[in-house]
Amino acid sequence: MLELTTKLEATNAGFHSVVIQPAEKAQILHTDDGLIPPPRPCPLIGVVSAMVALVGFTADNGATVLAPVSHLWDDARKPIREEVIPAVVPARSMIYFLNTIWHGSGANTSRNERKGLIVLYCQPWVRTFRNMTVAVDWENLDAISINMLKLLGFSTHNFMGYVDGRSPRAGVDVRKKRLLEGAKKHNEQTQESYISKL
């Protein structure tokens, strides 16, 4: 997946878990690029959604349902439940689909939870659902590969997303240095003030 998203110059737009409880109703059908206003069909603004099945996805436990070829529909066309098909897959499988495909979780009529992870990707010039440059622990950036840092938004795209004329990754280093220098200065001033009161 990292290789695919790197070739597409995609950025991670969000990452979260989804648990469909027993007796939970079907999710409203939607697209993952629905917050973006250009009329449909449109070029990919979001790129792909990837779902990891932590347990097997079945028609009974709320497998994600997809409306085939719905990425080609215009704004007036909306899917109905009879048009969707469940993405039935075994545990530890991954499902990929375009962000513009109409989809949603099915109803869970089983006795078990349906557990999965969702990873969303978008074009690097689109505002992401989750701001990874703030969400990721800056102390661990040196341990993350360059491709993964790009995927998380720590690079520029045609100079978009810069910080003081630099990439967000370089901007983090500058800010960390300023924070450390500021903390050191504050500690020195606090110690001087304490000593002067003795």
Q: What is the pLDDT of residues 7-34, one digit of tens each?
A: 667 788 888 999 999 999 999 999 887 7
- Residues facing residue 115 across a β-bridge: 19
Q: Locate the domains of the chain by residue range.
A: 2-129, 131-198
* Tokens coding 36: 């973006």
| Whether the predicted pLDDT of 109 surpasses 90 | yes
The mean pLDDT value of the chain amounts to 87
Mean pLDDT of 132-156: 87
| Whether the predicted pLDDT of 5 surpasses 60 | no
Q: Which 8-state DSSP code applies to residue 54?
A: S
The CATH code that applies to domain 2-129 is 2.60.120.620
The kind and range of the H/E element at 7 are: helix 2-7
DSSP strands (E only) in the chain: 11-20, 46-53, 64-66, 85-86, 94-98, 103-105, 114-122
